[in-house]
Each structure stands twice: as structure tokens, then as C-alpha cells.
Structure 1
Amino acid sequence: MSTPIDIREEGGVRTLHFGSEWVQGAMRIRKPNALELAYTREMMAGLLLRDADSWPLHALVIGLGAASLVKFLYHHCPRVRIQVVEIEPRVVAAARQFFRLPDEDARLAIHIGDGAEYVLDTQRRFDCILVDGYDRNARAGALDTLPFYQATRTLLNEQGLMAANLFGRSRGFRASLERILTAFDDRAVAFPSCDSGNVVAFGAAGEPIAVPVAELRERAQALKDRTGMDLLPTVTRLEQAGHLPGGRLIL
């Protein structure tokens, strides 16, 4: 990456930029472990779909950014082991210096490399894969291809969920979702677009998911009480968009 990495602050929020106006990550300085951006909160909606007491145990995060997802997992899911794959070492350095990325330890490992190559080469299995990798023009490249999504699915275990941020692909959004649907044998769903224009898509492997809306709300309230993260508006948006047929989220 030859473009500059910019750190900005406004209104108590520090943001990461790759030489453009696109926000690549954000942290509220008084709440460094909270998920400031709405789409990052929705990428953690797997906590509503699986048993949050035991899920996730093994997470793969592709694209570090400001380390928001990593910090949330690290601090609020104490049993999880996190593998990060980030292609640009200067992003890792910036996350450490400006966004309070925890030091590597038994629970957190960081690999400098290409995320698409990593999923093709690794033999490890995960129950949570979070894909949020972009260049300065908000392009995902190889991280938005059918072979990548197919390889991602092969890494998921019986509790496996993949969440992908489809931001920056507005014109190709349907094509992106079709690739995910193909890779996951139609076990995929795209959440309604956030105010920012981000769309989060989930693909599921292993045990089927069928959670009634009332239970989704109960889980969202329990998650809010435990972590401060509020996914109740997400449940409402899913219901309003007709994504809960028969009053259940099926995946």
C-alpha cells in the first residue's frame, strides 16, 4: 500500500483513513472497546444466532482496520481465540499506536498476509469468520469472489458463521450476495443497509438456525446488558424488511 494512512479526530471519535475520505475504522476515545460504527455492530450479530455463552471459540478476522471487531471479541468473548489476517503491516502499527489493539498473546495472533491466500492455505477451522478488507477506494478485490467465499465456507465448523461487510459495492451488491448464496448453498442473508450504506451479509454452515423474533429480542437485550452493544434496532429493521418469514430468522 503506497497511500498514506491518516488518523483524524472529531467529536471524541478517532478515525482511520487510507489516504481518502472513506472511514476504514473508528473508535470513540472514551469507549475504546465499543463498536462505534453501526455496520461493525451488525457484523457481531452472530451472537444472536448462536449460543453466546459458548460462541465463538475460534474467530478469524480478515482486515484489521482500527481493530474494532478484534477488541470487541477480545474483551467481551473471553473464551475466544482470534486469528487476524491483515495485508498491510502499517495498519497493524497504526492500530497499536492509535486504536489500542491488544498485544499478541495466547488468545490473539496477527498474520501479515493476503486474506484470500490465507483461507486457501490454512487447515484451521473456525466458528466465526469476519471479512472486512478494503483498499483506499473501498474495493475488496479477491475478498469478493466465489472461490474466496467457497474457501471460507470450508473453514467453518458445525457452529460456523461468516459475516462480510459489503460496503463500497453498491452497484455490485446483488452480485456479491449471489456469490455468497452460491458458496453457502443458499444459507445466506443480507441485512438491510445501514444508514452509512454498509450491507452486512451472513453465510451459515453446520447446524441450522431458526430463531423466533421474540427470542432474537431477548438475546439482543441480554447482549446489550452484558456488553453495551445494542442490536435491538437491527432486529426491528430485519422484521420491517420482511427478513423474518413466519416470525423467525432462518439460516
Structure 2
Amino acid sequence: MRKVLFHKPGSGQDITVYDTNEWDGEKGRFRLLEFGDQAMQGAMDLTRPDRVLFEYPRAILHLMALNIPDDERVFLIGHGIGTIARQLPKQRCTVAELEPQVAEISRTFFGYPNDNVLVGDGRGLLQAQTDASLGGLVLDAFTAKGMPSHLTSLEFFEEARAKLSPEGAILINLMGRGKQDPMLCAIGTTLGAVFPHVKAFILPSDDRSAGASRHNVLLAAATHPWRYELRSMAGFIETELEQGYVIRDGK
């Protein structure tokens, strides 16, 4: 059963909030945020609002816990329903969300409680941060059209590194067709031109069709080696991306 609570066109795409009594084969009470391209942007268990349903934020939170000191600030680009941000102390987290409606929906329909969301372009808002003031940067701005190109360029990653502390780290949520996907490989190569330690993690797909399935992929970049425990990676496994090209602004 699907009960629509909100539906309105956004910036070039519809935005829908609805309740359903089933999530990934599990019965219960769930609320979902979906864009018009059927891209799921957030899901909440209404009986346990702090439960993290998607695999990728669980893996990101694990990597953050082991690689970013608890007393360092985190900057998130892409808010959705606030899944990652609500797991962090509000004074430790600043969020950039491009779409004002999404920021409002997270409060009205998903009960996001904090006042740490800035509306605007993530790159511009990141540039306003003090140099060396951040322990972590999380990019969760992927859409059906891909990650916005100005958030994947060499120049952007250089700007980001300047805002990070010496031990700071970047985590990026992406979708792609695996370790040979040209765009994933290009983003990984571009990260590697700025950070000495880059890892890629892929969530295996249940779709066995020959090479056609899309996967959730996390990229992690830092000045230090990455630590993680496989059992806490929510199904993500480490993979090695092929060499790609370096992405530059305006190209």
C-alpha cells in the first residue's frame, strides 16, 4: 500500500513523499522520499526513526567512526531526509542542500530536528568554510544524471583538501556499473591526484545480467591509510577501479 503525502515538481524533477507498509520485503510502517526519476532519496522506519535503512549511510558512518576523530567537524553536501546528519551531534555537522524543498521536507515529513542545514550550492558553501577546519567531507549529491561535475573536478578536490585538517577525509556516494565504469574510474583517478590514499567499495548487485547492473559505490580519500572492518560495511566490499582520466572544471 502506498499513501502519497506530498507531491510537487522540484528543480527539473518531481518530489514525492509517501508511506508504505513494506520495505525491502519487510513489513512495517515506512516513509520514503523519491524523485521523479524513481531515485530513492531517503527512507525512514516510522516505528524506529533512528534506524538507518540504506546500506551506504551505514558504511559511511562506519568509515567515519574509524577514520575521523570524534571532535572534528564534518561537512555534508546533499541532505535528503538527513539520515547521516541526524546520527552526528548537530554542533559537529554542517549540511549543504541545493533544493530548498528537500530541506523543508526533511523537517516537515521526516522530523529532522537540527538547524544546521544551509540551502545553496555545496561547492560555494564549502568555499566559505575556514581552511583546515573540517575533519570530514561527505558528498551524497548523486542523482540519476550522475554527480554534478563541479563536485568531481580536480579543482574541487583541491579546494576540499584545503578545507580539511591534515588528517581529514572525503567520502563520496555514487552509482555506476562497477570497476570499469568510465565516470567512476575518472572520479577515482581525480581523487588520487589530490589524496595519496584512495579506496573504492562496491555493493554487489542481485542482478546477474551480463555486466548491465548498476551498483552503489563508495569512494574514500584521505592523506592517511583507511581503516575499516568488513563486517561493519553493510555488504560493501573493497574493489579496485581502473585508471581513468582527470576531470577538470569546464571540461
Please classify the TM superposition score into its range, dividing by the shorter chain length: 0.7 to 0.9
TM-fit CA distance, 1:91: 0.5
Are the structure 2 counterparts of residues 242 and 92 from structure 1 closer, same or farther at C-alpha, using a change threshold of 3 Å?
closer
Q: Which residue is 2:99 aligned to?
A: 88
**Which 5+ residue runs of structure 1 have no aligned equivalent?**
221-229, 244-251
Q: Are the structure 2 counterparts of residues 6 and 181 from structure 1 closer, same or farther at C-alpha, using a change threshold of 3 Å?
A: same
Q: Per the alignment, do residues 47 and 120 of structure 1 end up closer, same or farther by CA in structure 2, a change over 3 Å counting?
A: closer
CA contact (8 A) 2:176 2:217 kept: no
Runs of 4+ displaced beyond 6 Å:
none
Q: Does 2:132 align with 1:116?
A: no
Please state which structure has a larger fraction of its residues in helix. Answer: 1
**Partner in structure 2 of residue 209 of structure 1:** 225
Structure 1 length normalisation: TM-score? 0.74
RMSD value, Cα: 2.7
Q: Check if 1:145 corresponds to 2:153.
A: yes
Deviation at 1:137, TM superposition (A): 3.3
> Could you say if the C-alpha distance between residues 63 and 242 of structure 1 is closer, same or farther in structure 2, counting changes exceeding 3 Å?
closer
Identify the residue that residue 231 of structure 1 maps to in structure 2. Answer: 233
Question: 1:167 matched to which residue of 2?
Answer: 175
Q: Which of 29, 33, 44 pairs up with 2:50?
A: 33
Q: For this pair of structures, how many residues does the alignment match?
A: 212
For residues 179 and 57 of structure 1, the distance between their equivalents in structure 2, rounded to whole angstroms, comes to 25
Paired AA for residue 43 in structure 2: A
2:163 is matched with: 155
- Aligned to 1:5, what secondary structure does the other structure show? strand
Distance 1:160 1:70, change over 3 A: same
Shift in alpha-carbon separation, 1:110–1:48, aligned structure 2, 3 A = closer
Output the CA distance in 1 between the equivalents of 2:17 and 2:194: 36
Q: What is the CA–CA distance in structure 1 between the aligned matches of 2:83 and 2:39, rounded to whole Å?
A: 16
Report % sequence identity.
Answer: 23
Q: What are the superposed Cα offsets for residues 9-34 of structure 1, whole Å, 9 maximum, x if unpaired?
A: 33133221222211122222222222
Q: How does 1:7-86 map to 2 (within 5 A)?
A: 7-10=17-20, 11=22, 12-50=29-67, 54-74=69-89, 81-86=92-97
Distance 1:190 1:17 in 2: 26
Report the Cα distance in structure 1 between the residues aligned to 2:76 and 2:222, rounded to whole angstroms: 16
Structure 1 range deviating more: 138-147 or 154-163: 138-147
Which of these residues, 171, 175, 187, is aligned with residue 176 of structure 1? Answer: 187
Asked if structure 2 preserves the Cα contact closer than 8 Å seen for 1:165 and 1:199, the reply is yes
CA deviations 1:110-165 (Å, max 9, x no partner) are 21110122223432511011101134534433112221122111111133111001
- Which has the larger share of strand? 2
Q: How does the TM-score come out when normalised to structure 2?
A: 0.74
Aligned residues of 1:61 and 1:85 also touching (Cα < 8 A):
yes
Query: After alignment, is 151-160 or 188-197 more displaced?
Result: 188-197
Residue 187, structure 1, aligned to residue 197, structure 2: yes
